[in-house]
Amino acid sequence: MARKRILIVANMSKPGVAQQIEALRPWFAQRAEVAEVVDVLAGEACTNVQADLCIVFGGDGTLLAASRHVAPAGIPLMGVNMGKLGFLADFSVEHMQKHLDDILAGRVPPAERMMLRVGAADGGQSFSWLAANDVAVAAGEPFRMIELSVAQGEDEIATYLGDGVVVSTPTGSTGYSLSAGGPILEPTLEAVVITPVAAHTLAMRPIVVRCDVPIRITTTRLNPGTTLVIDGQLSRPLTEGMAVDISRADCNARIIPHPGRTFFRRLTGKLQWGTSPHHP
């Protein structure tokens, strides 16, 4: 039987990450072949690497960046938290070592998480990006209210007046969208959340819509600094009249779940969701 191949994606700017990977190399070599070590946040690419598993050392941001690179190849991702929260990167180094043999043997199947495909055209130049968490249009300088028209297919949803709008996957529903007042979605659902940011009306609230019909955000009144932001990591300036098209991607982020923690246990443990207030 051929040996399994592991791709290691890391945020080398985090203290202790490079040293931890180097210390684990002999341990990894006993179980699999390390195909490559890549620092995606430093601009290194890993789209052509063949691997059976991608182990991510960093935090949630590193895992999001890795998912955009490896999702088209169907490579499962296992997040090892070397940062603070670690909501997506849910494994400690010790738990990674405890469960890796079972994961390589296929006894811990990945959870399929839908992603978004984002595209727009500006002056004849078009682009297309993947998003694992969310797509946001942010007002930018000079921070005046902007106006965005949002439609799904042939149906106009609303005209949003405020600081912008966030279109989120279920995975991203616990990120920017949640901070803006959006609902929490179970991460393996097939749906999209549209959340206004500081809407200029009490009648404008987040809405959950189907994911199989494309969404279009048309920019009708902007600031010079208005920006399209993908997963909080990729950005591009927007101009009035531009249309941002968002659709369900044809690939999923395949995230290895921690065998000892359900989604709701992580909500309670990491975000303190559903807990009672503590009085002195």
Question: 115-250: what fold?
Answer: Tumour Suppressor Smad4 (2.60.200)
pLDDT score, position 124: 66
- Per-residue pLDDT band for 261 (boundaries 50, 70, 90) equals confident
Choice among 60, 90, 134, 163 that is catalytic: 60
The pTM score is 0.93
- Per-residue pLDDT band for 121 (boundaries 50, 70, 90) equals confident
Which residue pairs from 208-213 have beta carbons closer than 8 angstroms and sit at least 24 positions apart in sequence? 208/183, 209/152, 209/157, 210/152, 211/114, 211/248, 212/248, 213/152, 213/153
Task: For residue range 74-100, list pLDDT tens digits in order.
Answer: 999 999 999 787 899 999 999 999 999
| C-alpha–C-alpha distance, residues 192 and 184, integer Å | 11
Among this protein's residues, is 60 annotated catalytic? yes
pLDDT at 280 over 60: no
Coil, helix or strand for 19? helix
Averaged over 131-148, what is the pLDDT?
96
What's the whole-number average pLDDT of the chain?
A: 92
- Domain(s) labelled CATH 2.60.200.30 in the chain stretch across 115-250
Task: For residue range 30-82, list pLDDT tens digits in order.
Answer: 999 998 898 887 776 676 778 999 999 999 999 999 999 999 999 999 999 99
Report the top-level CATH class of 5-110+256-271: alpha beta
- Domain(s) labelled CATH 3.40.50.10330 in the chain stretch across 5-110+256-271
pLDDT at 26 over 60: yes
pLDDT score, position 97: 97
Q: Burial code of 59-87, b = ≥16 C-beta within 10 A, e = fewer? A: bbbbbbbbbbbbbebebbbbbbbbeeebb
